[in-house]
Each structure stands twice: as C-alpha cells, then as structure tokens.
Amino acid sequence: MSAFYNISSEELDLATLNTILGQKLLLKISDEARAKIEKCRAYLDQRMLSDQRPVYGINTGFGSLCNIKISGENLSQLQENLVMSHACGTGDKVPREIVKLMLLLKVQSLSYGHSGVQLLTVQRLVDFYNNDILPVVYTQGSLGASGDLAPLAHLALPLLGRGEVYYKGEIKAASEVLSEYGWEPITLQSKEGLALLNGTQFMGAYGVWSLLQGYKLSYLADFISAISLEAFDGRLEPFNALIHKIRPHKGQLCTAERILEFTEGSQLATQEKKNVQDPYSFRCVPQVHGASKDALAHVRSVFATEINSVTDNPNVFVDEDEIISGGNFHGQPLALALDYLGIALAELGSISERRTYQLVSGLRGLPAFLVHDPGLHSGFMIPQYTAASIVSQNKQLCTPASADSIVSSNGQEDHVSMGANAATKCYRIVENLKSILAIELMNASQALEFRKPLKSSEKIEDFLASYTTVVPFVAQDRVLHYDIEKTKGFIDRFELTGPILEY
C-alpha cells in the first residue's frame, strides 16, 4: 500500500522533500488545503459577478496589455490563450526529476488558498505527480521575474490536453494519456492560467534539487578528501578542534570534526610523518569546505521560505475582501541564492582537483601518475586534465546571472532576476562537481593501495572495499572513461540520509 504526504499549510522543508522523493511518497491534498482552495475560488467567482471593475489578469490582458478589459464571456478563453501563447520554451528538456519537483512545489503554492484556482486543477496536478505523468518542459525561456512563465506554461499545457508528457518511459501527446485515464481536459476559469504560470517553481525545483545534491556532495567531498589525505600521508594536526574553536565558523568546525571521525583508528594517520606541513588543498579543507557548508545553509534558508510561499499574482485575500496585484513572482531572492550556491559548490570542485594533482605528482613515495612502470603506462595522468577542464568550466558557469537584467513586455517588466539561468547553471555545476569528485576518488583509492600493508580507518577501508568492487585497482592502462562513469554512478547511489542534511 502506498504512503502519502498530505499537502497542507504545514512547513515543507528540505528534509521532508528528501523523504518524499527518497521514499517515493504519493501526494494527497489535505482537508484543510481543500477547504482553502474551494473558499478562495468561491469568493473569486462571487466577486467577478458582483464587481465589474478591472482586476489585473482576471478580466484584463497581461503584461503591458494590462489596461485592456476582457468581457466576462471570454475570461475562460483568456486563460487558455495565456497558457498556449506562453508555452514557447526552447533548449534542452528539463530533467524529469526536476519536473516532478515543479509539480510538487506548484501544488504546495496553490494549496494556501490565495490563488483562486479550482480544486479540480490542483487535483489534476496531484494526479500527474502520483501517476508519473511528467510534462515535457524546456530549460530556456524564463526571465525569472513574472514567474517562470514559459517553463510553467509547458507544465500547465497537459491540463488542457495539450503539449507532451513523459509517461511509461516514452514521450507521448498529453491528450493521449488523458484519454487513457478517462480524464477530460480542464476548462480554466478566471485567474487560473495566471496562477499556473506566475510562480517560481522552475527556479525552486532546480534549487531544491541542487541543495539536496549539494549536501550529499559536500559530505562526500569531506569523505573523499579524508581518503586523499590518508593516501598523501597527510597530517591530522590541522583538524584539531583547538584551531577551529578560535575561528568558530560552523561549517569549518563541522568539517574538521568529520575528517577526524573519518580517520579515527587509522594506522596511516598515526605513523611518523616526514613532512612538517601539507599543501593548502589538504591543510585548509576545514576552511574551504566549511565556507561552502555555510553557503549551503544560507541558500537552504532562502529556499525554505520560498517553497512555503505564494508566488503567483494577483493574490486573493478572502477574509480581507482584497485582490492585490504585486510582485511575489519576482525571482531575485532565488537568483542571488542560486548564484551563491553555484560558487560554493564550484569551490568544492576547485580544491578537489588540486588534491588530485598532488596525488599524481610522484610525491611522498607515490609513483608518478599512480601506476607501476610509468612511461609504458600513463596511469592517472589524463583524468587530472579532465578534472582541470571541468573546474575551468565551472569558473565560467559561476559568472552571476543575477547581475544581469533585460527589459521585456514593452517596458512594463523592466527589471528581471535571470534566476532561471542561475538555476540551470547551478544544475550544470552540480553535475560537473560529481565528475570532479569521482576523479579524486579514483585517484585516492588507487594511491591508497601503494600504502599497504598499512591501513586507513575502518570507515575508509569499508567504503573502499565497496567502491573497488565497482572500480578495481588499475594495474595497467585501460579506458578510464568507463571508470569515471562507474564512479559517478557509485556517487549517485550514495544515500542522502538525515544526518548528512543536518549540516
């Protein structure tokens, strides 16, 4: 029997989202949310009958056409036209895991009862989510200001029986899938198209995904750096708590504590050292990784607010008898946060590549390029090139999108956040970081073999025993592309648990 997550006004946080996704929970609209949605829709219907004054997006045109009044008999057509005309995304298709998050976050935002949508509309979005009917959405087209208009239009098209969806491993016409379930296309009522298209769920979904991946990769960056430290015959003094208590950034304290935990009981760590100091890429792991952890915490707080917010426009306040047009769809808070997150995660890759470089350099008793008979065999020479190339690309991707703006809609929408571009850039940085950490793990695992018979800690030895069943020791040259891909798969399968999300 399937387990459900009840959509309600209770706070939706990152840990809850991780549980929903990890346990593949289905969605259910709570009685409380149903009542709010229906109350708001009934109020809006009554208001439109009794008050003919223009209300933006409900009985007017959109954007710079906001002063054009639309007659009552055309209000439904107005909303359908809005969805169709705005579905002009292009570029790559949005990954399905992001689309699924977009559905969840859109349902959450509509459930607060300030959007004026029909209960049927919200329920159909829930049905899409629960049956893995995922609209085909495109990465390009949003300015991140009037909401994520183009991506959300593609998300909404299947409600009307238009557009395409992923279903049972294929891309199919939405009309075909609706017919299979016996569902009629929804006839949008006043305000509904705008409620579906205004919002930050494209940016929000990318941000939530990047945060969840970011926490996992932050943890793995710590763990892999500990393996590299052991393989490089590094010192543990830089991780002594006394150092970090006199500069007590939370991320720094957490990182140092983790490294000591990971290396506890290691024979390598306790052997006499010939080198007085280690390079910064080892010695300053707490400071560098820790700063990225603090950035993750800040971005998490921004998104915690956002995913529990109403971000369409105008907003309906039933008890106050008000319909107010504002700018809650503007993505500036997310744009800045996504740029910051991208920089923080890119730095984890930057310092990782430096550790890889040190490991292949023939230092501290390790063979050049971590292979027997170097010269005949190139060993791990070129994976470092690959990591360096990806690090350089990440630096380019870290150019902030949020510093840009461009005028749209005949000057009515004259400042935009570009948060959608920040979101898709951040996604690419996350994927790049996986490759960089995979390359470091390959090198660290290979290097540690040359330290035998001495052993590392039980934690590290157990981890590597699992890893080397996937990617064994490289005794002679082979096609390392496959090893990198297998290592990335190993990283992807690493489970994101509650404790990792704590910091």
69 pLDDT above the threshold of 80: no
Length of the chain: 503
- Per residue in 372-422, pLDDT tens? 998 899 999 999 999 999 999 999 999 999 999 999 988 888 899 999 999
Identify whether 119 is part of a domain.
yes
> Residue 25 corresponds to which tokens in the numbers above?
């929970």
| pLDDT classification of 67: cutoffs 50, 70, 90 | low
Helix (H) or strand (E) holding 84, with range, is helix 75-86
Is 241 found in the same domain as 326? yes
pLDDT of 68 reads: 67
pLDDT of residue 55 exceeding 80, the answer is no
Report d(CA 205, CA 477) in Å as an integer.
41
**Residue 368 per-residue DSSP state:** G
Q: How far apart are CA 422 and CA 405, in angstroms?
A: 12
* Conformation bin of residue 273: beta by default, left when phi > 0, alpha when psi is -120 to 50: beta
Residue 51 lies inside a defined structural domain of this protein: yes
Domain assignment present for 316? no
The C-alpha atoms of residue 200 and residue 338 are separated, in whole angstroms, by 13
pLDDT digits (tens, 9 = 90+) for 444-494: 999 999 999 999 999 999 999 999 999 999 999 999 999 999 999 999 999
Could you give the percent of the chain with pLDDT greater than 70?
97
Mean pLDDT of 429-441: 98
Strands (DSSP E) found in 387-469: none
- Considering the chain, what percentage of its residues have pLDDT values greater than 90? 87
The Cβ-side half-sphere exposure at 132, using a 13 Å CA radius, reads: 10
Task: Look at residues 145, 164, 199 and tell me which one is the last residue of a structural domain.
Answer: 199
- Evaluate whether residue 403 is within a structural domain: yes
Distance CA 412, CA 410 (A): 6
Cβ atoms of 339 and 401 within 8 Å: the answer is: yes
Q: Are residues 385 and 466 in the same domain?
A: yes
Residues 6+ apart with CB under 8 A from 74: none
Cis peptide before 248 (omega within 30 of 0): no
**pLDDT computed for residue 63 by the predictor:** 63
Q: Say if 284 falls within a structural domain.
A: yes
Pairwise CA distance, residues 20 & 13, whole Å: 11
Are residues 77 and 18 part of one domain?
Answer: yes
CATH of the domain at 453: 1.20.200.10
Residues 182 and 244 in one domain: no
Residues 249 and 394 in one domain: yes
Q: Is the dihedral of CA 23, 24, 30, 33 positive or negative?
A: positive
Strand pairing class (26-29; 4-7): parallel
Residue 264 placed within a domain: yes
Residues 185 and 307 both lie in one domain: no
Q: Which of 255, 403, 281 is nearest to 343 (CA)?
A: 403
Domain total for the chain? 2
Stretch 250-279: mean pLDDT: 97
- pLDDT confidence tier of residue 275, bands split at 50, 70 and 90: very high
Q: 353 is written with which tokens?
A: 């590549």
Same domain, 222 and 355: yes
Please report, for the domain that includes residue 161, its CATH number: 1.10.275.10
pLDDT at residue 121 greater than cutoff 90:
yes
Return the structure tokens found at 45.
Answer: 């219907």
Instruction: Supply the pLDDT for residue 64.
Output: 59
Domain-ending residue, one of 139, 171, 199: 199
pLDDT of residue 66: 58
Same domain (yes/no): 345, 212: yes
Under the banding of pLDDT at 50, 70 and 90, the label for residue 195 is very high
In which domain, by residue range, is 147 found? 4-199
Confidence of residue 329 (pLDDT cuts 50, 70, 90): very high
Residues 482 and 379 in one domain: yes
CA 43 from chain center: how many Å?
A: 36
* Residue that the structure tokens 């504590």 belong to: 257
Q: Is residue 35 part of a domain?
A: yes
Active-site residue identified among 56, 167, 219, 467: 56
Preceding amide of 279 cis, omega within 30: no
Mean pLDDT within 57-72: 65
Answer yes or no: do 105 and 216 share one domain.
Answer: no
Establish whether 56 is a catalytic residue: yes
Pair (61, 150) in one structural domain: yes
Query: Which residue among 199, 218, 241 closes a domain?
Result: 199
Q: What are phi and psi of 88, to 5 degrees?
A: -125, 40
pLDDT at residue number 135:
98
**pLDDT exceeds cutoff 70 at 72:** no
pLDDT of the residue at 54:
73
CB 416 within 8 A of CB 143: yes
**How high is the pLDDT of residue 143?**
95
Give residue-wise pLDDT tens across range 74-92: 778 888 999 999 999 999 9
In a domain, 358, yes or no: yes
Residues 175 and 143: beta-carbon distance below 8 Å: no
Determine the pLDDT at residue 424: 98
Q: Which of 264, 269, 199 is nearest to 230 (CA)?
A: 269
Encode burial over 416-425: b for 16+ CB neighbours within 10 A, e otherwise. bbbbbbbbbb
Residue 85: how many CB atoms within 10 A of its CB?
12
Between 69 and 159, the higher pLDDT residue: 159
Both 262 and 180 in one domain: the answer is no
DSSP string, 200-248: SHHHHHHHHHHHHHHHHHHHHHHHHHHHHHHHTT--SGGG-HHHHHTS-
* pLDDT tens digit sequence for 135-176: 999 999 999 998 899 999 999 999 999 999 999 999 999 999
CA angle 462, 490, 95 (to 5 degrees): 150
The reported pLDDT for the residue numbered 51 is 76
Residue 118 near residue 189, CB atoms below 8 Å: yes
What is the rounded CA–CA span in Å between residue 349 and residue 368?
22
